[in-house]
Structure 1
Amino acid sequence: MLQVLRLGDVVCCNIIRRTTRFTVEVEVGGSLATAYTNNTGRLLGYLTRGRVGYCLRARGGRHPLRLVAVEDGEYAALIDTRLQEEAFAEAVRQGWLPWLAECSISKRNPRVGNSVLDLMLDCRGRAAFVELKSAVMRLEGGFAAYPDAPTKRGRQQIEHLAGLARQGTRSIVVFIAGIPNARGFKFYCEVDKEICRSVRKAIEAGVEFRSINLFMDVKSNAIVLGDADLRVDLSCCMQ
């Protein structure tokens, strides 16, 4: 494992329940508090009563805490999408992703048509567009999966990447497998049947589908890179 980002002062909490798409009720030191979460996925099995969560203190905003990870064995699943992006960007900068070894980040949140993607890279003078997807759904066998809820936005972004790929632009969907020591990534087709059409179009257009494993080491309060090139299984979309 490679240490990617140190998190500094982490607040441990006990999760009580999810209250809205963006808030979770937690208990810290015997008192109840509201923690913000930027991950709008269902996070099945993680935001359940009694699980240990790991928060950062918020800088401003309505809620004092930001829930970034949830216990999963001896480590913690990284659920915070902003930290997933920061860790991915740092891995690119350090050259730890062999399939992006000659790339650097040139722009964040580039607008493509009516979609905003996560990153534009410069790969030896050639532009590449990257969309990150949070995969914090655990399947049998230790596989991380996406999506865990219907996602119209995800479909649109994949289709925009397909349009770029048809024009000869390198386009990549990266699934951030946030569960500790993931064995691989599998696309999950049960909750959003329509997204598979978008995935098939993207494959035909030449979009790359990649996955990396990022999770939290609770002993060092750091985000670590477990695998820089996880096996990606899109077979459920090809049936």
Structure 2
Amino acid sequence: MQFFPPLQPATLIKRYKRFLADVVTADGRELTLHCANTGAMTGCATPGDTVWYSTSDNPKRKYAHSWELSETQDGHWICVNTLRANQLVREAIEQQRIPELSGYSKLGAEVRYGTENSRIDLLLQAENRPECYIEVKSVTLLQQGCGYFPDAVTLRGQKHLRELQSMAEQGKRTILFFAVLHSGIESVAPAHHIDPRYAELLTQVQENGVEVMCYGAELSAEGMQLTERLPLVIPGR
């Protein structure tokens, strides 16, 4: 994924109302950016960090600028725009850069499924193969050298795990895909200290046929792409 034009830098003043952030550009202008990330963004929104933003030419947008990346004062790059995770995974699949997900002829997105009124992020299909349901999650929380998911209690995420298990029990291939969008994260673990129920469900669904994949990414103001598979760490295993 390339950014055209390349992202522009600014310094973060503050994030507020979940969807907004104030920044100051290199030439001293203050801008308000739209923030597509509604999560806690722990460690991703520290005042003084460098923010990299894109600009839309859509005249109907109230806020023309969007917060895409953070460059922390420790030198880490983080993609804070959660919409990018699905795009990166889809691009990598289409370019055959994820060997575990090659060989499918059709790729759908946001397809309704399950019994709890859900939409699957990506659906892969091919003749003579079970359908493959992929739920994508963005991992950006770095603590004590490990990446954790989720960064806040997520009832929606718990629902997605239940839906994946249900499809696995029907003979479908199901995958929880962690897109690791923080350059400092080298492994992923369920955040039992934040959402113990999610962590319990993750272990449960793995035991019932749901695959879990973690992939890191290269991040820069010019573009992003998924790179290599990272380990999943389950305490006690």
TM-score in terms of structure 2 length: 0.89
Q: What's the counterpart of residue 33 of structure 1?
A: 31
Deviations 1:122-166 (A, max 9, x none): 25543100011110011223x322111111100001110010001
Q: What's the counterpart of residue 151 of structure 1?
A: 154
Tell whether 2:66 aligns with 1:66: yes
State the one-letter code of the partner of 1:16.
Answer: I
Would the aligned equivalents of 2:121 and 2:135 in 1 still touch at CA under 8 Å? yes
How far the C-alpha of 1:82 sits from its partner, in A, is 1.7
Q: Secondary structure at the match of 2:196?
A: coil
How far the C-alpha of 1:196 sits from its partner, in A, is 2.4
Would the aligned equivalents of 1:105 and 1:119 in 2 still touch at CA under 8 Å? no
Q: What's the counterpart of residue 8 of structure 1?
A: 4
Q: What's the counterpart of residue 17 of structure 2?
A: 20
User: Using a 3 Å threshold, how does the CA distance of structure 1 residues 98 and 181 change in structure 2: closer, same or farther?
Assistant: farther
Q: What's the counterpart of residue 116 of structure 1?
A: 119
Tell whether 2:236 aligns with 1:217: no
Would you tell me which structure has more strand in proportion to its own residues? 1
User: Using a 3 Å threshold, how does the CA distance of structure 1 residues 148 and 174 change in structure 2: closer, same or farther?
Assistant: same
- Correspondences of 1:67-146 after superposition (within 5 Å): 67-72=67-72, 76-112=77-113, 113=115, 114-124=117-127, 125-141=129-145, 143-146=146-149
Q: How far apart, CA to CA, are the structure 1 residues paired with 2:118 and 2:216?
A: 26
Moved more, 24-33 or 171-180: 24-33
How far the C-alpha of 1:214 sits from its partner, in A, is 2.0
**How much identity, in percent, do the aligned residues show?**
22
Moved more, 22-31 or 153-162: 22-31
Tell whether 2:168 aligns with 1:165: yes
State the one-letter code of the partner of 1:97.
Answer: I
Would the aligned equivalents of 2:89 and 2:226 in 1 still touch at CA under 8 Å? no
How far the C-alpha of 1:47 sits from its partner, in A, is 0.6
User: Using a 3 Å threshold, how does the CA distance of structure 1 residues 98 and 110 change in structure 2: closer, same or farther?
Assistant: same
State the one-letter code of the partner of 1:235.
Answer: P
Moved more, 87-96 or 38-47: 38-47
How far the C-alpha of 1:51 sits from its partner, in A, is 0.2
Deviations 1:199-219 (A, max 9, x none): 23312221011111124123x
TM-score in terms of structure 1 length: 0.88
Would the aligned equivalents of 1:68 and 1:79 in 2 still touch at CA under 8 Å? yes
Q: Secondary structure at the match of 1:232?
A: coil
Report how many aligned residue pairs link the two structures.
229
Would the aligned equivalents of 2:55 and 2:65 in 1 still touch at CA under 8 Å? yes
Q: How far apart, CA to CA, are the structure 2 residues paired with 1:213 and 1:6?
A: 17
- Of structures 1 and 2, the one with the larger relative CO (CA 8 A, separation 6+) is 1
Structure 2: gaps (5+ residues): none
How far the C-alpha of 1:225 sits from its partner, in A, is 2.6
How far the C-alpha of 1:65 sits from its partner, in A, is 1.0
